[in-house]
């Protein structure tokens, strides 16, 4: 039985795609169901109900708002796209401040999205672009994209859609301020650890609420209360001995 004209056309398209090496397919990760997760280009996306989140509970380094499409990246230099003023919600991030997490023997850095969509319904947010860079300029500013859809923001550590476009996407529930809506683990090995700063660019679609990003950062090296008390007591004791020696002399 000879193949029909339409079947021959489909086969030719398949053979042409295989010959050209175009074997990648669009990936859509839906993390709206409880406990859901997915993998795109090495990054792991998780739904979470981690509490607390939202304004006043987290320390966002990037906040963006527009409708129906929005985008932005963190920088100390200004507000390049739909980034929201002031800079306490949008600023540079030190690479050395990021905490390391190990999943299945692989070290990751962790980033969290809190999506806040307005209105009584339609509380979802579609993440179409996610690019993470490292560099040494905390105040860089550009709105000009490269031909491959990236921005000249330093060394590219992660790209949701290599080569540009919106084929890969992540669908999150945007439940409003109070809970993270997506947690992203990106392999630490993808980062240029000799750089100083991390820049996160993202773009997506919602219905007008604001989105904000934060990163899991390591605890500050502050002495425990008992240790701090011991340091103070030692300091007082040393000072007292010096004062007595001065009086005796």
Which is more confidently placed, 50 or 69? Answer: 69
Instruction: Give the pLDDT mean for 189-199.
Output: 98
Q: Bigger pLDDT: 205 or 19? A: 205
- Mean pLDDT, residues 65-81: 95
Band (242; pLDDT cuts 50, 70, 90): very low
| 129-183 pLDDT, tens digit each | 999 999 999 999 999 999 999 999 999 999 999 999 999 999 998 766 557 889 9
Q: Quote the pLDDT of residue 122.
A: 59
Confidence of residue 120 (pLDDT cuts 50, 70, 90): low
3-state secondary structure the chain: CCCCHHHHHHHHHHHHHHHHCCCCCCCEEECCCCCCEEEECCEEEECCCCCCCCECCECCCEEEECCCEEEEECCCCCCCCCECCCCCCCCCEEHHHECEEEECCEEEEEEEEEEECCCCCCCEEEEEEEEEEEECCCCCCCCCCCCCCCCCCCEEEEECCCCCCCCCEEEEECECCCCCCEEEEEEHHHCCCCCCEEEEEEEEECCCCEEEEEECECCCCCCCHHHHHHHHHHHHHHHHHHHHHHHHC
Taking 70 as the threshold, does the pLDDT of residue 52 lie above it?
no
Give the per-residue pLDDT at 223.
Answer: 35
Q: Quick one: average pLDDT of 217-225?
A: 51
């Amino acid at each position: 039985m000879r193949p029909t004209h339409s079947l021959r056309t489909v086969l030719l398209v398949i053979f042409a795609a295989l010959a050209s090496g175009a074997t990648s397919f669009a990936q859509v990760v839906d993390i709206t169901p409880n406990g859901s997760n997915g993998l795109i280009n090495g990054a792991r996306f998780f739904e979470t109900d981690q509490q607390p989140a939202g304004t006043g509970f987290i320390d966002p380094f990037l906040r963006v708002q527009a409708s129906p499409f929005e985008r932005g990246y963190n920088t100390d230099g200004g507000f390049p796209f739909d980034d929201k003023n002031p800079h306490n919600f949008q600023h540079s991030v030190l690479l050395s401040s990021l905490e390391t997490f190990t999943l299945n023997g692989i070290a990751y850095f962790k980033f969290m999205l809190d999506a806040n969509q307005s209105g009584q319904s339609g509380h979802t947010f579609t993440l179409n672009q996610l690019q993470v860079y490292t560099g040494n300029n905390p105040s860089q500013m550009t709105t000009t994209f490269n031909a491959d859809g990236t921005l000249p923001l330093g060394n590219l550590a992660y790209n949701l859609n290599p080569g540009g476009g919106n084929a890969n996407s992540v669908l999150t529930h945007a439940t409003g301020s109070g809970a993270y809506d997506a947690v992203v683990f990106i392999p630490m090995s993808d980062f240029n650890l000799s750089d100083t700063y991390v820049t996160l660019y993202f773009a997506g679609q919602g219905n007008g609420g604001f989105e904000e990003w934060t990163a899991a950062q390591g605890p500050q090296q502050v002495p425990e209360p008992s240790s701090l008390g011991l340091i103070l007591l030692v300091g007082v004791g040393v000072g007292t001995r010096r004062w007595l020696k001065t009086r005796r002399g």
